[in-house]
Chain A
Amino acid sequence: MQRIIRQFPRIGAAAVLSFAVVATGARADGLSVGPVKDPTVAKECSACHMLYPAGLLPARSWSRLMNDLGDHFGDNAELDPETAEQIRAYLTANAADTQRRGTKLLRNLPSGTVPLRITELPYIAAKHAKRGRVAPATLKRRGAKSPADCKACHRGAEQGQFDDD
């Protein structure tokens, strides 16, 4: 019992600390989802493009993308079945609709739609519609090949940090 009491201040401090973190996150204008932590996902999903954090799309989107790797935005990105299943499991388990932090991202997204691009999410589209944020001239100035290159402007994109807007 005495041991439990001695633990109390520490638990209390942790609770206050996590509350502070949550409160800060809620106030900030940006978005914070976790980075990809699985080495296979990190390797395979960043060979051709930036590494998109799993928390940027709902599970149904990742599932659809993993079903259609033969035509991945026009390119063949097929994987052997075992690796594909491993990646699908990770992406769907860490998708936007499995994270509390991801709910803001899915705001106004009709449940029947399966967005294949992060830029199709109404929340993201609305954010970028402001002040020509992804206008061709802006992309060119930032050295982005397309709006898919989040990290051209969001330096922490691959770490899941989008609080720099």
Chain B
Amino acid sequence: MKHLRRTLATLLVLAAGSTATLAGKSAAQQAIQDGYAAAARAADPAFKGFSAERGKAFFHAKHGGGKPETPSCTTCHTSDPTAAGKSRAGKTIAPMAASRSPERFSDQKQVEKWFRRNCSDVLGRACTASEKGDVLAYLLSL
């Protein structure tokens, strides 16, 4: 029994480690990415896949059109996605990088909820599937 427990613990550690690696997206994270890919392809037949580089630029850019208090993702999440951020009300936000917060980007409803809210506040419009997928690609790559 003790042995079994140790084996299980080792497996858990290995599993946690694998989600932290670049290629180690969980099935749930992959499914959400796939959903955005399908939507991006539907919107633009020339869509060729997501880009962590584009996502990085988007995440760090100063956007216009939203509220003056929140011009960028980095306003709350800081310019280091592996560090904790802070909400405008002062609450700590867990790091956005999947390597630091492995539970992130696993629940479609949660992901959509935050894109809906934050794109509205930062850009003054909804984000496109392509933008969402790029940002996820970036945050999953860190």
Chain B, interface residues (CB within 8 Å), range: 10 to 19
Contact: A48 with B116, CB < 8 Å? no
Q: Which residues of B contact A78 (CB under 8 A)?
A: 113, 116-117, 120
Stretch of B13-21, B37-45, B86-94 that contacts chain A: B86-94
A sample of 7 inter-chain contacts (CB < 8 A) reads A47-B87, A47-B91, A48-B87, A74-B69, A76-B116, A77-B117, A146-B89
Contacting B89 at CB < 8 Å: which of A70, A76, A80, A149?
Answer: A149
Q: Is B121 an interface position by the 8 A CB rule?
A: yes
Contacting A79 at CB < 8 Å: which of B89, B113, B121?
Answer: B113
Q: Which residues of B contact A76 (CB under 8 A)?
A: 116-118, 120-121
Q: What are the interface flags for A67-88 relative to B under an 8 Å C-beta threshold, 1 for contact and 0 otherwise? A: 0001000111111100000000
Q: Which residues of A contact B67 (CB under 8 A)?
A: 74-75
Contact: A149 with B113, CB < 8 Å? no
Contact: A49 with B121, CB < 8 Å? no
Q: Kindly report which residue of chain B lies nearest to residue A69, judged by CB atoms.
A: B117
Contact residues of A between 69 and 115, Cβ < 8 Å to B:
70, 74-80
Chain A, interface residues (CB within 8 Å), range: 10 to 19
Q: Kindly report which residue of chain B lies nearest to residue A72, judged by CB atoms.
A: B117
Q: Which residues of A contact B69 (CB under 8 A)?
A: 74
Q: Is B109 an interface position by the 8 A CB rule?
A: yes
Q: Which 8 A-B pairs have the closest CB atoms?
A: A145-B90, A49-B89, A76-B120, A48-B87, A76-B117, A76-B121, A48-B89, A48-B91
Q: Is A148 an interface position by the 8 A CB rule?
A: yes
Contact: B88 with A75, CB < 8 Å? yes
Q: Which residues of A contact B109 (CB under 8 A)?
A: 80
Q: Which residues of B contact A145 (CB under 8 A)?
A: 89-90
Q: A residues touching B (Cβ–Cβ < 8 Å)?
A: 46-50, 70, 74-80, 144-146, 148-149
Q: B residues touching A (Cβ–Cβ < 8 Å)?
A: 67, 69, 87-91, 109, 113, 116-118, 120-121
Q: Which residues of A contact B117 (CB under 8 A)?
A: 75-78
Q: How far is the CA of A48 from the CA of B121 in the complex (A)?
A: 14
A133 CB to closest chain B CB, in angstroms?
Answer: 18
Q: Kindly report which residue of chain A lies nearest to residue B120, judged by CB atoms.
A: A76
Contact: A75 with B91, CB < 8 Å? no
Q: How far is the CA of A145 from the CA of B117 in the complex (A)?
A: 22
Q: Which residues of A contact B118 (CB under 8 A)?
A: 76
Q: How far is the CA of A48 from the CA of B118 in the complex (A)?
A: 12
A49-B89, A75-B88, A146-B90 are known; give 8 further A-B pairs, CB within 8 A.
A48-B89, A49-B90, A50-B89, A50-B91, A76-B117, A76-B118, A80-B109, A145-B89
A74, A76, A77, A146 interface centre (most CB from chain B within 10 Å): A76
